[in-house]
Amino acid sequence: MNFPRPLIAGSAALVLLASGLGAYSVLKPTATASVPIASAALATTAFADEEASTATVYTIQADDSEARFIIDEVLRDSPFTVVGTTDQVAGQISFDSEDPTTAQVGPIVINARTLTTDDSSRNRALGNFILNTSDYEYITFIPAGLSGLPASVTPDQAFTFQVTGDLTIRDEIHPAVFDVTVVPGTDGSLAGNATTTIKYADWGLSIPSVPFVASVDDDVTLQLDFAATAAA
């Protein structure tokens, strides 16, 4: 499987959401999504004989999926975990239950403008300062390779693998590796999750200092829970 261009974002977008911004006040409203999220078509070029392939192309369903970032901070002298989420994630997966090793994942795309946390001021800081979503609307992950795919799978039983690729946040591109778990449903659907931990500073991201945030971790966890159905 080659997982679509971003994080996770991710979602990619998830990494920028690194918070410690509970008290940081940004008056400017954040930019809104320009268009509803949509998946880019997956080119299944890895198959030597596409006509003989029994692979199915699956589309991630935004309504049943969620991309998130998770980062720890010390807020008002107490540990606090900041979580930012969005369902605006898109991508396609090609999967053949008869030959799982031929799986592919297309670009994973997350709309960073739609990421929200527990606090409106934090959301404005995230969108306007950290991710600068007015200029950089999307976080993307472009898979370069999959490793650890099983030779066979069983319906309703999870299998795991890793996907490597390029994660783009605010035009900064760096490699990332996601640990992925997938469950092929007996109804022909796919469900699963992908996760990675990165240092947000590697993407040129910074978090402003605020009075009641004593510290913010250097690492941010990016996660994607997805549900995908056969493309029409």
pLDDT, residue 215, reads 85
| Residues 128-181 pLDDT 10s | 999 999 999 999 999 999 999 999 999 999 999 999 999 999 999 999 999 999
Is the distance from CB of 169 to CB of 139 less than 8 angstroms?
yes
8 and 104 in contact (C-beta within 8 Å)?
no
7 occurs within a structural domain: no
Residue 87 has pLDDT above 90, yes or no: yes
Strand 159-169 to 104-105 pairing: unpaired
Residue 6 counted as domain residue: no
The answer for residues whose C-beta is within 8 angstroms of residue 210's C-beta and 6 or more apart is: 20, 21, 22, 23, 24
What pLDDT does 22 receive? Answer: 37
Higher local confidence (pLDDT), 49 or 43: 43
- Specify if 66 maps to a domain: yes
Query: Across residues 102-108, what is the average pLDDT?
Result: 96
Phi, psi of 18 (to 5 degrees): -45, 115
Confidence at 52, pLDDT banded by 50, 70, 90: low
Residue 188 resides in a domain? yes
pLDDT score recorded for residue 13: 35
As a whole number, mean pLDDT of residues 184-197 equals 96
**CA 36 to each of CA 11, 25, 32, 58, 131: distance values in angstroms, whole numbers, following the listed order:** 16, 28, 10, 19, 19
Residue 150's Cβ-side half-sphere holds a number of Cα atoms within 13 Å equal to 14
pLDDT of residue 37: 86
Residue 73 is classified by DSSP as: E
How high is the pLDDT of residue 165?
98
Q: How many domains does the chain have?
A: 1
pLDDT tier, 6 (very low <50, low <70, confident <90, very high otherwise): very low
Q: Confirm whether 125 is domain-assigned.
A: yes
pLDDT at 48 over 70: no
Per the structure, the complete domain to which residue 24 belongs is given by: 15-230
Q: Is residue 10 part of a domain?
A: no
Comparing 38-42, 86-90, 196-200, the range with the smallest average pLDDT is 38-42
Query: Is 115 domain-assigned?
Result: yes
Structure tokens at 141: 């992950």
Asked if the structure places residue 134 within a domain, the reply is: yes
What is the pLDDT, as a whole number, of residue 8?
36
At residue 63's C-alpha, the angle toward residues 165 and 227, to 5°, is 50
Listed in sequence order, the DSSP H helices in the chain are 120-125
Residue 204 belongs to domain with CATH number: 2.40.128.110
The whole-number pLDDT of residue 44 equals: 58
pLDDT at 23 over 60: no
